[in-house]
Amino acid sequence: MRQRELQAQFVIKRGLPFSVFDNDDATEYIHGGLQPKYQKVSRITLRRDALKFYLAVKEELINYFENFEGRVSLTSDVWTSNLNLGLSYLCITCHWIDPISWEQNKRVICFTGFEYPHTAVALYKVIMKCAREFKINDKILSISLDNAANNGAAIELLKRDLKPFLNGTFFHTRCVCHVLNLIVQDSLKGMEEYINKIRNMLKTIYCTKQRAQDFRKFCKAQSQRYLKPEFDLPVRWNSTYKMLKRAVLQKEILMEYYSLLNIEHNLGENDWDIIEHYLDLLKCFIGPLFFYLECIIQRAH
């Protein structure tokens, strides 16, 4: 049983599929190099063991919070799958400082599907259900959400039921990452014409696996270093800088290959000069301060 417990924990911690041990190659390796008496664990058994382990840890955490006399803070976010499946998810992470060890702790206490519409009432119900289940509904100091209107309305509903500390003065902590990104994205609007030119060029070159493979071969044939492309994301403030920087580093080879495709484009030398000028402006977004803030946010989530 101890072996199965450790396998379940290993799969959970590493985010591996339940079928990772359910194959003859893994069994042969364990038999030959570790334990000849090992019995293969099927994916169904491993899933059952993982669920059992999760429920045990969950119950332990609920008991801990029931006797906890401090305050906790929550961070939550909603996102939609990028696979065009229309699936949305909601995650709630609980943060607190243990009063005995004074160590900062965090646990994901809710990860669930979140159906449309993403209304304030729907968000309020999920957070309240989770808070009551983990017995922290009277211990919440603050909740970090982004600036979406439904989040603000949900906070007002939560204040009504949770009656937070200091009448909720510090109850809604607006996500720093989201605020910074809004500032950056708004600033990028003046550069949109030139950014779109680079973005479209990269999309043209990497629109299919075959064309991307041809470009790698072309770089090798020209004795030029191939750099994997960066594409910007509207939810990350430094992604546009990374995309432009990577493109500028291989400007000549990109333009040479682009011209071989016989696709009309309007990317001239003057455009590249402007892009390089913009890079100096965007560099501050990956400076020490922003790097430090990004590390804090990644740790928080």
Residue 142 and residue 224 in one domain: no
Query: Residue 125 domain-assigned?
Result: yes
**How far does CA 71 lie from the centroid of its chain?**
26
* 52 phi and psi angles, rounded to 5 deg: -60, -45
Residue 54 and residue 77 in one domain: no
- DSSP codes, 5-47: HHHHHHHHHHT--GGGG-SHHHHHHHHHHT-TT-----HHHHH
Residue by residue, pLDDT tens for the chain (301 residues) are: 788 888 888 888 888 888 888 888 888 878 887 777 778 888 899 899 989 988 999 999 999 999 998 899 999 988 776 655 667 889 999 999 998 889 999 999 999 888 888 888 989 999 999 999 999 988 999 999 887 778 888 888 898 888 887 777 778 888 777 777 787 778 778 888 888 888 888 888 888 888 888 889 998 998 988 888 888 877 777 788 888 888 888 888 888 888 888 777 677 788 888 888 888 777 776 654 455 555 554 554 4
Report the alpha-carbon distance of residue 58 to residue 40 in Å, rounded.
28
Report the alpha-carbon distance of residue 223 to residue 231 in Å, rounded.
24
Q: Are strands 88-97 and 172-174 parallel, antiparallel or unpaired?
A: unpaired
Residue 291 and residue 192 in one domain: yes
How buried is residue 272: exposed, middle or buried, by Cβ count under 10 Å (0-12/13-18/19+)? buried
pLDDT of residue 297: 47
Query: Residue 232 domain-assigned?
Result: yes
Residue 165 and residue 120 in one domain: yes
* 80 phi and psi angles, rounded to 5 deg: -115, 140
Which residues have CB under 8 Å from 164's CB, separation 6+? 140, 141, 142, 158, 170, 171
Q: Are strands 72-80 and 104-113 parallel, antiparallel or unpaired?
A: unpaired
Query: Residue 134 domain-assigned?
Result: yes
Look at the chain and report how many structural domains it folds into.
3
Report the alpha-carbon distance of residue 79 to residue 160 in Å, rounded.
26
Question: Tokens standing for 38?
Answer: 């090992």
Among 14, 47, 63, identify where a domain stops: 63
Residue 226 and residue 250 in one domain: yes
Query: Residue 179 domain-assigned?
Result: no
Residue 19 and residue 55 in one domain: yes
pLDDT of residue 27: 82
C-beta pairs of 17-25 under 8 Å, 24+ apart in sequence: 17/43, 18/43, 18/44, 18/46, 18/47, 18/50, 19/43, 20/46, 21/46, 22/46
In what helix (H) or strand (E) does residue 281 lie, and over which residues does it extend? helix 269-282
Among 114, 141, 174, identify where a domain stops: 174
Q: How far is CA 172 from CA 68, 79, 93, 297, in A?
A: 22, 19, 15, 16
> Which domain covers residue 96, as residue numbers?
70-174
Give yes or no for a contact between 239 and 231, defined as CB atoms under 8 angstroms apart: yes
pLDDT of residue 295: 53
Query: Residue 246 domain-assigned?
Result: yes
Query: Residue 89 domain-assigned?
Result: yes
pLDDT of residue 62: 95
pLDDT of residue 83: 58
Closest CA to 112 of 81, 88, 148: 88
Report the alpha-carbon distance of residue 120 to residue 122 in Å, rounded.
6
Query: Residue 107 domain-assigned?
Result: yes
pLDDT of residue 82: 61
Residue 165 and residue 199 in one domain: no
Question: Tokens standing for 68?
Answer: 């906890």
Residue 224 and residue 162 in one domain: no
Residue 49 and residue 74 in one domain: no
Among 152, 174, 196, identify where a domain stops: 174
Residue 50 and residue 88 in one domain: no
CATH number at residue 147: 3.30.420
Residue 204 and residue 294 in one domain: yes
pLDDT of residue 265: 67
Report the alpha-carbon distance of residue 167 to residue 141 in Å, rounded.
11
pLDDT of residue 85: 63
Residue 107 and residue 163 in one domain: yes
Query: Residue 180 domain-assigned?
Result: no
What's the pTM value of the predicted model, to 2 decimals?
0.67
pLDDT tens digits, residue range 214-251? 889 998 998 988 888 888 877 777 788 888 888 888 88
Q: How far is CA 134 from CA 2, 63, 161, in A?
A: 28, 8, 16
Question: Tokens standing for 288?
Answer: 């020490």
